[in-house]
Amino acid sequence: MQEEWEEEVKIPIKKDAPTAAKPEAEGATAEKPAAEEKKAAQAEAAASQEFEIKKKTKKATKPFDVETQAHALPPAIMKQFKELENKLIDEDNSILDHKKYKNELESLAYDIKTNVASYGPLENYVDE
């Protein structure tokens, strides 16, 4: 994943070194220690420091971990299910064939019964 944003950056503008303030009197200079004068000069320089503001575009790339999950069955299990389905279809077909042959046999038995019964065409050929 790539992220992009803009930031404002303050860049200090270089100026000429500020000139040291002339002491008003020699006695005043003697009273202040040198360290305090340097701190005061730095504070004055920092206060008068000017900045230029620039906009910078930044980019960051972060890894994006995704776990995928398929809702389909694996091929091996699909093959097992197809084989089972074919087996069940074959069993159903064999049951239906058995019913069909049984009905044909029953209808043949009724036909023979009506032919052999009294007043049937084959009555004369049957011995009682």
pTM, full prediction: 0.40
pLDDT 10s digits, 45-82? 666 778 888 888 989 898 888 888 888 999 999 999 99
Residue 96 vs residue 61, higher pLDDT = 96
Q: Percent of the chain scored above 70 by pLDDT?
A: 84
Return the structure tokens found at 37: 């004068």
pLDDT value at residue 12: 80
N-terminal to C-terminal alpha carbon distance within the chain? 99
| Integer Cα distance of 12 and 49 in angstroms | 7
Return the structure tokens found at 65: 């971990």
> Region 30-57: what's the mean pLDDT?
75
